[in-house]
Amino acid sequence: MTSTSDNDFVLAVHGGAGTILRSKMTPEREAAYHAGLRRALEAGRVVLADGGTALDAVSAAVMALEDEPLFNAGRGAVYTSAGKQEMDAAIMDGRDRSAGAIAGICGPRNPILAARAVMEHSGHVFLIGDSALRFCREQGLAFEEPSYFYTEARWQALQETLAMRRSGAEDQDESRKHGTVGAVARDRNGNLAAATSTGGMTAKSPGRVGDSPVIGAGTWADNETCAVSGTGHGEIFIRYAAGHEIASRLRYAGQSLEEASRAVVVDVLAPAGGSGGVIAVDRTGAVSLPFNCSGMYRGYVRGDGILRTAIYDEAFVERQQD
């Protein structure tokens, strides 16, 4: 996709890859996903249009996606095999590669704010579990009860996955396996940022951490190259250092953002069993949103204010605003 002019901005978001089969998608559901993506784009767009930073824009966009129960992050996160929610999130500032991440927590209303607090106030990059929760309380982050995060659809998905496991059947439904939300942005000053937040994969083992909070795997931002947020089979994204691999191709191999991100998603991750996709922006404002499965909830917006969203391999739906 085309680059932007020097002082234009761009924001891209995703709501997870591996979508509901077209045959099971109703027009109402489809419209709700597009509307959810548009709300996130608009939340970040106003920040960037006001001259705000890429970091603030990706925080705002991911918070909107976490608040939306349709997506697997924050409210609506999936369940572990033990029937608990364990959320992971990360944020990275391309200006100086500062980064913050949390893993295995349930409590903060917006896990991305927990990751940001780690980045800005802990002196560390990554906090996990109970200590991360204690830190979030000290930081005064808003907490919610487990009932706030509960959705019937995610609970049912867990029951179906566990039943399939018991019967030895393999789960072919990508929508049960996948999810995650993320945002990447370039602000008017050419600064890049990335943020990713997830409940992980349905029926994951308690304590399992995926790629989303792992800097260089599911989340990466560096002003000299690009910002990336991934969604898909986290173990493979970690093993192939997906986000950093894309940036390295820009830095050392002179590849364009589109070449690099498509090659990693299609030629590296897919053959290794890493179904999913990424959203990426580079320092010139180019955007790339490749995926190697049936679809990825995704969208982007530039300074023209047109909110472009898509789910499958299809033309973007364009709206000025809802």
- Contacts with ligand ASP, residue ranges (CB under 6 A): 16, 178-180, 198, 200-201, 210-212, 218, 231-232, 234, 276
Q: Which of 53, 180, 225, 309 is catalytic?
A: 180
Work out whether the CA dihedral 58, 49, 259, 226 comes out positive or negative.
Answer: negative
Of the pair 21, 46, the CB lying nearest ligand ASP is at 21
Nearest distance, CB of residue 286 and ligand ASP, angstroms: 23
User: b/e map of 124-162 (b: 16 or more CB within 10 Å)?
Assistant: ebbbbeeebbebbeebebeeeeeeebebeebeebbeebe
Please say if 180 is a catalytic residue.
yes
Cα–Cα distance measured from residue 160 to residue 163, given in angstroms and rounded to the nearest whole number: 5
**Cα–Cα distance, 307 to 316 (Å, whole number):** 9
List Cβ neighbours of 156 (8 Å cut-off, separation of 6 or more). none
**Closest distance of CB 173 from ligand ASP, Å:** 13
User: Closer to ligand ASP at the Cβ: 53 or 212?
Assistant: 212
Kindly tell me which of 40 and 47 has the beta carbon lying closer to ligand ASP: 40
Work out how close the CB of 318 gets to ligand ASP at its nearest, in angstroms, rounded to a whole number: 26
Q: Judged by CB, which is closer to ligand ASP: 47, or 311?
A: 311
Work out how close the CB of 36 gets to ligand ASP at its nearest, in angstroms, rounded to a whole number.
16
Positions annotated as catalytic residues are 180
